[in-house]
């Protein structure tokens, strides 16, 4: 990729910004700093008059179902003769899972002390459901946006790529299994990986990846 193109590529800057935010948050959490928004936001989320079943459905969308979704996404790229795209998608998807598991063990943050509505085992930081759903659904939206689909399917897939990771993350807080900072780390890390994937996809010519849509930029800044 030409150096001037690199400087103008918004995906590189998005990946860098999210990676820096993720790193700083990880340092704070790893050093044991109490983050004031964790308790306040958790209390607010757990007090919302939302049926438990809704949050359970949201968290389901970020669980084991991501495996067949990721396999289908990668297989679709391979079957449509986009071999480089299939390899990149597979590396990002598998890498996000390995990265999450490794970081959980390194930070070793215990689960929140309050009663969980859907008990989980293992460490808390970062939220694996959030990070991996952000990567999976984000890649689906990215590929849909740059492939020749009709307008309606593209808009639907973009909406899915934006909405589901947000709902998954919020459900993890509402169910009492994660701190908000765990979820924020999942969003930041996931967006960084999707953006990095977009950079590699463009650099290798796997598919044409253009500027970041305004809706995506706004959503990321709000996180």
Question: Do residues 193 and 135 make contact, with C-beta atoms less than 8 angstroms apart?
Answer: yes
Dmax (CA) for the chain in angstroms is 53
Q: Where are the alpha helices (DSSP H) in 49-82?
A: 52-60, 66-79
Global pTM? 0.87
pLDDT tens sequence across 32-78: 888 889 999 999 998 899 999 999 999 999 999 999 999 999 999 99
The residues near 158 (Cβ < 8 Å, ≥ 6 apart) are 141, 144, 145, 213, 215
**Length of the chain in terms of residues written:** 223
pLDDT tens sequence across 143-154: 888 776 678 888
pLDDT tens sequence across 128-148: 999 999 999 999 999 888 776
Each domain of the chain, given as residue ranges in start order, spans 3-31+55-222
């Amino acid at each position: 990729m030409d150096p001037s193109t690199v400087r103008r590529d918004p995906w590189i800057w998005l990946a860098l910004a999210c990676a820096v935010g993720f790193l700083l948050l990880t340092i704070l959490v790893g050093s044991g700093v109490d983050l004031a928004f964790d308790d306040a936001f958790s209390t607010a989320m757990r007090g919302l008059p939302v049926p438990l079943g809704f949050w359970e459905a949201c968290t389901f969308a970020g669980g084991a179902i991501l495996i067949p979704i990721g396999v289908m996404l990668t297989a679709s790229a391979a079957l449509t003769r986009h071999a480089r795209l299939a390899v990149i998608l597979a590396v990002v998807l598998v890498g996000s899972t390995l990265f999450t598991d490794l970081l959980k063990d390194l930070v070793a943050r215990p689960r929140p002390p309050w009663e969980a509505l859907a008990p989980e085992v293992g460490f808390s930081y970062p939220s694996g459901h959030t990070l991996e759903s952000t990567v999976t659904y984000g890649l689906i939206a990215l590929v849909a946006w740059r492939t020749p689909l009709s307008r309606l399917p593209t808009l639907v897939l973009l909406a899915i790529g934006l909405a589901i990771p947000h709902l998954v993350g919020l459900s993890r807080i509402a169910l009492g299994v994660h701190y908000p900072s765990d979820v924020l780390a999942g969003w930041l890390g996931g967006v960084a990986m999707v953006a990095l994937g977009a950079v590699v996809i463009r650099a290798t010519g796997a598919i044409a990846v253009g500027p970041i849509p305004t809706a995506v930029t706004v959503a990321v800044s709000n996180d």
